[in-house]
Structure 1
Amino acid sequence: MEIAVIRVILLGLISGLTNGAGVLPDGPLNATVGGTVTLTTTLTPTENPVFSVIWRFGDKNIITLTNTNTTAPEYEGRITLFIYTGSLELRNLALSDSGEYTVTILPHGAAELVGRTTLNVYEPIDSVRAEANSTDLVELSSVRLSCSSSGSSLSFLWMNGSSEVTASDRVHLTDGGSTLTITNVLCYDQGPFRCNVSNPVSDGTSDTINLIISYGPENTNLKLSPSQEYFEKGSNISLSCSAVSRPEAHFNWFLNGEELPDTGPELRLVNVQESGNYSCRASNIKTLRSETSVQSRVSVLGASITSSPNLPSEGNSVNLTCDAVGPSITRKWMKDGSDLSLADNMMFYDVNRVLSFQPLKKTDGGEYSCHVSNTINTVEARYIMVVNYGPENVQIKGDNETQRGQTFTLTCSAESEPSASYTWILNGKEIYSSAVYTKSAEPSDSGNYTCQVMNSVTMRSSSKVHGLTVTAGGGLSAGAIAAIIITCLIVTAASAAGGYYIYKKKVNNKPQLNNTVQLQQPNQEHVYENASLVYENV
């Protein structure tokens, strides 16, 4: 056998070795465990067998055909070699048969050919199963679905109905796609979900999973019947409430914000006497959520006052409009409980329906009422006018001078509606945002403090500047220091004079002393020094 192999190699060296591009099909080839695959060469069958064929799996020989046929023991009964093309059939495949296969062929009268390809053997897909950790869910909760299957090299694909499930901020695919987690579950996440599992040789699909998702209530809506702008006293009215909800919603009713004893999707009003704002609240016993409808007005000769859209600020033009329901209406305006007297900036339009301020003044704030009358009834509507103004009259209270280490407080105030915001600026730099600024003084705190006042409604601002000087503190003034220096000089002079006097007295009383210093008209400085010397000698 070794001689035959050597002969094949020598023939290859003599004829030239060709790495057989196209000798074997492009890989990888895919096959199933227990199945059969043929590694087919591209050689055209001839009348004579090929001269030599060697098949290898990795670095192991499978079969060698030269003068004799040699087959590896583990492949006995599992392979068939086609001697006219050099193709090889493998049967009863196992996962361990996956890998690279190499064929070396020496055809008659031609150069040696070498081909390579890769074979992947897979376990087939079987027993695909999908499960959910819960199928009874509440909207915005979470659910986890898992998929399992026999087989190898599995790929997982989740479907919701006919749509593929893809990852998003609330949809997560983990464990190679076998686990699907949905956070913040929504009503359209109910399914049906199914899991498709595949590999290159087979696929399978699980049974469907349907989720029961409780949601709502939402889109709560109230309707009046008959639907009309106003009603006469004694009318009968029906109100109905609906909402999108699973399970079906439970309904409660409210009049002007107060709960009524009535329940259910319909409320019947019999012999209505007064106007009111009706609303319904839908509740879900499963989600424990509720939603209230927009109020619906049942008007029985009513009146209301509305302000024009522009901001009720000082200097703006503002209109108050008194609207009423019913025929033959007359209107009477009052302010703060007294008949309204028109000022020079007020006027009426549209037969007292509109009260106009041109422009609005700060003093125009207060409670306005409109009394509406007809042959049926008289009603009143009220409106509190809040006039926005300012800021103005900015004031700063606080010391202009303080010492280092002492606490100083600056208080800023201004007239404003609504209340203004305050910003302190020191030497052009913002340092604090409040009306009151308190700090332990440092030399760097000296300077000009600007209080910037801003009204966020009128978008107006104003400011005031306050100067503050921080002194060193804890020391003496220049005058005090000068006084101390003068006092020290006086004491020094007196001490010098006293020393000189003692010197003279000692000299007169003890002429026998040695080392007596002779003084010759000393100036004051010399007197002091000589007096000290005499005193030491004594």
Structure 2
Amino acid sequence: MHTALTLLCGGLLAAVTVAIEISTNNPVKVIIGETANLNVSFVSKNPPHVTWALSDTFASWTVGQVPPPMVSQVFVNRLTINTSTASIAILQTTLADSRNYTVSLTAVDELLSSQKVTLRVYELISEVLVTVPVDDVKEGDSKTTVICAMTTGTWDTLSWTKDGKTIVGDAHMVIASNELTIQGVVRGDAGTYSCSVKNPFSDGTSQNQLTVYCKYSTHSHLTWQSVRFLQGIFVDLSFRLPCSLSIRLCFTPSIPVPPAPRFVLVNSTVTLTCSTSSEPPAQYLWSVGESSDTNVPSNPVLIDDASNWTRLELQLHRYQCQAEPYGEEDADDHRVR
């Protein structure tokens, strides 16, 4: 008797725990406007009842039975159903159809079985564009953002490079969606930024140049070449430079002399060259001062015939070269005695 009850209970439990086997073609990926086939195969002892749902059921039927399937107004004229299967086809897909769908099957003496089917509808990618800030980006700015945009398209993957090297997001370069935010801007952040986007049906790439402008610093670099030495013209230099500028001051008459003392002959020809390397290119303004100084000979001429820099007629004993990058000013004084 005890053995008979055990076998009976075991058989009942086995019957209760049987479930319908379901397999799907998950995920489904299509181009916008195409038909999306959400295919379902199953193993069941009896014809199952099928339901498809998003938040609510939008289609249901019993496999192999004559009555037409129930279809909600949301999918009227957009759903194809073969009632001999559990599959559906969504016609004329839109981007809004990109969702997770749930298919459920029930049958007599079998447990309910459900599976999710992900549908992803893609738009073809076109005209990818990397944009950098319109306003000047300066060293020391708290942050700046580079954006990857496209005229049309949906992407699965988006990647960034700087000067050809892959950018891995970190605390300094934060990647969020299609934006790259640079925290705590430094001069090394200047460079060519490229964005690549891909989906299963298309891809695109774009790049743009980010320029980082530097703040002023107080260092300088001087190159002394040679001076023709006759009598007491003394040059006194005092200036500060933007970090993006490298200024060379060259005195190039004919007879080499040691760097100190720095003298040339009165009435001799002296070349003062003020040059910069900057981004954007600087403009140069020369001026003279201290008109009350009567120790300067009349009408000597300062000629720069070694380069295309501004030529200056030597009249007074203090000369100023002013380099102006992107609207800021940087001045170098040249005192000639």
What is the TM-score with the length of structure 1 in the denominator? 0.34
Higher relative contact order (CA 8 A, sep 6+): 2
Pick the structure with more helix per residue: 1
Computing the radius of gyration from Cα coordinates, the structure with the larger value is 1
What is the TM-score with the length of structure 2 in the denominator? 0.50
